[in-house]
Amino acid sequence: MFRPVVTASVLPFIGRRIRRSCALWGVLAAAAVSACAQDTGDSINEFADAGMADTQVSQEYAWLELPPGFPLPAIPDDNPLTPEKAELGRYLFYDTRLSANQTMSCASCHLQELAFTDGRPQGLGSTGEFHPRSSMSLVNVGYLSTLTWSNPLMTSLEYQALLPLFGRSPVELGMADQEAELFRRLGESEYADLFEQAFPGETPAISLLHVTQALASFQRTIISGNSPFDRYMQGDVGALSASALRGLELFFSERAECFHCHGGFTFTDSVDHAGVGQAARPFHNTGLYNLDGNGAYPEDNQGILEVTGRAEDMGAFRAPTLRNIAVTAPYMHDGSIADLNAVIDHYAAGGRTISEGEYAGVGSESPFRSPLVRGFVLSESERADLIAFLESLTDETLLTDPRFSNPFVESP
Amino acid sequence: MRSTTVVLLVALSTTALWSCAEDDTTEANDHADAGIFDDAGHADGNDHTPDGAGADQQSVTLNFAAVVGTQPLDCESTYSDAIAGTRFALKDLRFYVSEISLIDAAGNLHAMTLEEDNAWQGDGVALLDFEDGTGSCSNATPDTRTSITGSVAAGEYTGIVFTIGVPEALNHVNPVEQTGPLANVALHWSWMMGYKHFQLEGSLNESGLVLLHLGSKGCSGNPPSDFACSISNRPRVELVGANPLSTPVVLDLAALLADSTPVDDEVFCMAEQSSACEELLGTLGLDMASGDPISDSETLVFRFGE
């Protein structure tokens, strides 16, 4: 089931490229980094079979409508994924009653039409406080090994829900000390049936545990795999333009090096799913800042250093998915790059140079910069090709899929 | 209104320090009654002792209070002596206490067993709460808690030692699956998969901020079981020279902030490696880098009230 659908015999054009670069197999094998160090062809197929043979999606999960080739997300034993839980989670996700002042919901910072980002450089909480970091896309979040920009500890969607709900610095939904009020609001609403259906026979049905489990369940169902790129991989040779195809080859080339961190079917190297044993938790410094010549990042945004306390972790952030990347501007952990063209400038230079101001510095000279960010030269047409490929990762159905839309709004 | 009452009580008796929150006189009376109840419990056998322990146990109540220098801490006042030259107002002060032992005259430690009340105390951990949800603390909760109840071996005591914080063995549980003090998600430090052992929030010069969220750091692994933090950040407090059963333990925010230098009206520490944290943790007797108590140092943040 998880053997890549596209084969060399079906698509000779792609097959030839694969045998040269091996990269596309890596895309579907979900481990581009390790796979691509190997030979081509058979070894990759073996890897794919070994890694995914036991992750057959049973009929139990047919309702998830997984895209072809996608494994089942990692589902914790104590929170089995059901359509009823996901539906309850969808209501909660869109409900402004989950913020203390009832002005915001999860969806306020994670808008479906923006692939569950918010278009802002940095997230804005219900009390007007900005988050140091940009709202991350929730697309395919069930396949991530770590969930947020810069926390190697944050691996559980259930646990993570506590942060926006109850976090105090910064305040997001601001529900700290408001649990009683939350239960009062939920108890006075349509939720009794939803909780009962999601957690039949469990008392109390309305609990924080169930709120976090339902939110996690809904997020696990937000799966994107119907972009032009995906359709191309499934055999629709017309799905990608000639320019996007050239961009695809650049993307997976050792020259541009994009795929090392943005590989796999999720287009990030932070990947976990059913069948994976111990998932890696990679973070990278891309040379975005170098304030002091010693690699310093701005004080409130220093990457996993803030969690690990290790000096060498300065500026290390998780690679975000590139699926739907064309609709999730602005970019980087702090939203400091406005568009894809400027993102390519950053990587082409092997790190960003800021010439003046408090953040001035030459990122390419940072001692913490990932060795994979080493710069490259693209012609103007190549740059256009690369952007065309990135744009081909936009899944229009995801952006409008009623399964993920606001249940409080009557559909037309 | 309350602050006026408290100030008056301070003038009359140091017992007012036991609580700056609600109903000081009631708490004082409860406290005074504790010894009488203990005797009755002994006379009646084991049934009345909270933990069902033997007759050599006595029920005890430890009282705590919070002050800023010489003034009781409350949510109505603005303090000019928390940090010299500034105006400080409380928003939140809550912390966990665990691993309590009373010290006898010979210097021996006698572990206290905490009552379990499914709210403030459980699993050997007590939560203390000094904000009442009024005034400058309006974002927090109306309930307060300024005492710890339990039992300890019968005897005379001249000191107390306790830990500020949730013990490591309990620190990484999922709060939404807990009851009692560990169910308090407002004290949970979700990004570090643990609890805030100590939480202080206040305003400085109205628009500025004092924030100390002290939890364990340097963590790695998969919670709850395969998970550990190398930087404990649990202050250990030892006080001697008074009877802990009749003398409140006083937390002085002025002593906590004594070494803090606001930058742009901000004293902000989430237990990172920073000068603000070094100053705050230092007054709590903690070495910022290791998170361990500084040897041979004693914190002035806590003292006996008499």
Residue A362 lies inside a defined structural domain of this protein: no
Please, which residues have CB within 8 angstroms of residue A335's CB and are 6 or more apart in sequence? A120, A121, A122, A134
pLDDT at B27: 37
Residue A167 lies inside a defined structural domain of this protein: yes
Residue A208 lies inside a defined structural domain of this protein: yes
For residue A127, count CB atoms less than 10 angstroms from its CB and return exposed for 0-12, middle for 13-18, buried for 19 or more. middle
Residue B222 pLDDT greater than 90, yes or no: no
Question: Is some CB atom of chain B closer than 8 A to the CB atom of A176?
Answer: yes
Give bridge partners of residue B66 from the DSSP assignment: B251
pLDDT at A274: 85
Residue B1 pLDDT greater than 50, yes or no: no
Higher pLDDT, A8 or A169: A169
Q: Domain boundary at A183, A205, A223, which?
A: A223
Question: Other CB atoms closer than 10 Å to residue B115's CB: what's the count?
Answer: 18
| Beta carbons of B281 and B269 less than 8 angstroms apart | yes
| Choice among A189-193, A324-328, B98-102, B211-215 with the minimum mean pLDDT | A189-193
pLDDT at A410: 72
Using alpha carbons, select from A116, A115, A99, A80 the residue that is nearest to residue A217: A80
Cβ-defined contact of B218 to A212 (cutoff 8 Å): no
Mean predicted confidence (pLDDT) in B206-210 = 96
AA letter at B174: N
**Domain shared by A52 and A137, yes or no:** no
Chain B environment of A158 (Cβ under 8 Å): 174
What is the helix (H) or strand (E) element at residue A83, kind and residue range? helix A83-93
How many Cα atoms within 13 Å fall on the side-chain side of residue A8?
13
Distance CA A297, CA A132 (A): 12
pLDDT band at A291 (very low <50, low <70, confident <90, very high): very high
pLDDT at A36: 35
Chain B environment of A168 (Cβ under 8 Å): 186, 201, 213
Question: Other CB atoms closer than 10 Å to residue B223's CB: what's the count?
Answer: 19
**Domain shared by A88 and A218, yes or no:** yes
Choose, out of B93, B129, B130, B176, the residue to mutate when testing the contact with A (most A CBs < 10 Å): B176
Higher pLDDT, A164 or B4: A164
Choose, out of B174, B179, B216, B269, the residue to mutate when testing the contact with A (most A CBs < 10 Å): B174
Q: Domain boundary at A11, A37, A56, which?
A: A56
pLDDT at B210: 97
What are A97's two structure tokens? 């009653």
DSSP B300: S
pLDDT band at B306 (very low <50, low <70, confident <90, very high): low
AA letter at B32: A
What are A384's two structure tokens? 């256009």
Cβ-defined contact of B220 to A179 (cutoff 8 Å): no
Helices (H) and strands (E) in chain B, counts: 4, 18
Gyration radius from chain A CA atoms: 21
pLDDT at B22: 36
Residues A299, A304, A305, A306: what is their CA dihedral angle, to the nearest 10 degrees? 60
Distance CA A88, CA B29 (A): 50
Residue A362 pLDDT greater than 80, yes or no: yes
pLDDT at A399: 98
pLDDT at B303: 97
Distance CA A16, CA A144 (A): 31
What's the angle, vertex CA B142, arms to CA B140 and CA B145, rounded to 5?
Answer: 100
Cβ-defined contact of A162 to B185 (cutoff 8 Å): yes
| Beta carbons of A373 and A351 less than 8 angstroms apart | yes
Cβ-defined contact of B175 to A162 (cutoff 8 Å): yes
Residues above pLDDT 90, as percent of chain B = 75
ipTM above 0.95, yes or no: no
Over the stretch A111-154, which tens digit does the pLDDT of each residue have? 999 999 999 999 999 999 999 999 999 999 999 999 999 999 99
pLDDT band at B55 (very low <50, low <70, confident <90, very high): low
**Domain shared by A51 and A88, yes or no:** no
Over the stretch B256-267, which tens digit does the pLDDT of each residue have? 999 999 999 999
Chain A residues 126-155 within an 8 A CB cutoff of chain B: 151-155
Higher pLDDT, A276 or B170: B170
**Domain shared by A107 and A157, yes or no:** yes
Distance CA A411, CA A405 (A): 9
Distance CA A326, CA A330 (A): 10
Question: C-alpha distances in angstroms, B123 versus A300, B97, B227, B242?
Answer: 36, 11, 19, 27
**Domain shared by A102 and A26, yes or no:** no
Pairing of strands B208-215, B194-204: antiparallel
pLDDT at A189: 86
Using alpha carbons, select from A256, A289, A269 the residue that is nearest to residue A367: A289
Domain with B88 in it: 2-304
Distance CA B145, CA B64 (A): 9
Residue A241 pLDDT greater than 70, yes or no: yes
Over the stretch A17-48, which tens digit does the pLDDT of each residue have? 333 333 343 444 333 333 333 333 332 233 23
DSSP B245: T
Q: Domain boundary at A56, A72, A94, which?
A: A56
Mean predicted confidence (pLDDT) in B293-298 = 83
**Domain shared by A202 and A152, yes or no:** yes
Cβ-defined contact of B140 to A308 (cutoff 8 Å): no
Domain with A114 in it: 83-223
pLDDT at B295: 82
Residue A347 lies inside a defined structural domain of this protein: no
Average pLDDT in chain B:
84
Residue B9 pLDDT greater than 60, yes or no: no
Distance CA A142, CA B70 (A): 54
Of these ranges, A199-213, A272-286, B41-55, the one predicted with the greatest mean pLDDT is A199-213
Over the stretch B57-70, which tens digit does the pLDDT of each residue have? 999 999 999 999 99
Question: C-alpha distances in angstroms, A394 versus A225, A228, A236?
Answer: 9, 7, 16
Using alpha carbons, select from B80, B18, B126, B128 the residue that is nearest to residue B257: B80
Please give the tally of structural domains in chain A.
2
Min distance A189 CA to chain B CA atoms (Å): 22
What are B77's two structure tokens? 């006042």
Residue A92 lies inside a defined structural domain of this protein: yes
Please give the tally of structural domains in chain B.
1
Residue B113 pLDDT greater than 80, yes or no: yes
Higher pLDDT, B137 or B15: B137
What are B181's two structure tokens? 């003090």
pLDDT at A309: 86
Residue B40 pLDDT greater than 90, yes or no: no
| Cα of B44 vs its chain's centroid, Å | 33
Instruction: Indicate which CATH number applies to the domain containing A123.
Output: 1.10.760.10
What is the helix (H) or strand (E) element at residue A233, kind and residue range? helix A228-233
Please, which residues have CB within 8 angstroms of residue B123's CB and are 6 or more apart in sequence? B116, B170, B180, B182
**Domain shared by A5 and A111, yes or no:** no
Over the stretch A156-210, which tens digit does the pLDDT of each residue have? 999 999 999 999 999 999 999 999 999 999 998 889 999 999 999 999 999 999 9
